Amino acid sequence: MWGIVPCKYLHNFPFREGVGRQMFQGEHKNTMDAKGRVNVPASFRETLRARYGDEQVVVTRDYDGCLHAYPPKEWDRRVLANMQKLDFNDPWRRSYERFVVSPAVTCVPDKQGRILLPLSLRSFADLDKSVLFAGGAGHFEIWDITRREAQLEQDLVMLRSGPPQP
């Protein structure tokens, strides 16, 4: 069932009941070591365990210049299933597969809660020492802090212009 969540700063936002249980909440700054290991926030690991049964994630590139991390079930449902609905020879599908699917890696946190981000993904997202984990519905993002601030400025301009009209 759909409802409305009042938002005093922007517009009323439609939501689907039960979605909150799949949500990774908050923004968390962490430090990545020289090998590319970074701690996944404890609250995100707890959501992974409670909702999906373990802590592993599939990490890949996103169009906005960050990394997206999906629980494997969400990766299969949101990314692979939607891509496979398109004809294999569709140019958009092939570009999407090369950009998003090909570089994806499955990461399992170590005993300290760290995942190892490959150099290719770190380079793409311009990740150095300070990284920001940003929650989302069914996935979370991993950002360079400066790049995230620039993206949020762009997002605010778009949000102030109002939602798309049907």
What's this model's pTM, rounded to 2 decimal places? 0.84
pLDDT number for residue 22: 61
10-residue mean pLDDT profile of the chain (166 residues): values are 34 40 87 98 96 96 96 96 91 94 97 97 97 96 96 94 87
pLDDT number for residue 7: 37
* Overall CATH class of domain 24-73+103-160: alpha beta
Q: 3-state SS string over the chain?
A: CEEEECCCCCCCEEEECCHHHHECCCEEEEECCCCCEEECCHHHHHHHHHHHCCCCEEEEECCCCCEEEECHHHHHHHHHHHHHCCCCCCHHHHHHHHHHHCCCEEECCCCCCEEECCHHHHHHCCCCCEEEEEECECCEEEEEHHHHHHHHHHHHHHHHCCCCCC
Rounded distance between C-alpha atoms, residue 109 and residue 79, angstroms: 22
pLDDT number for residue 74: 96
Rounded distance between C-alpha atoms, residue 60 and residue 141, angstroms: 10
pLDDT number for residue 137: 92
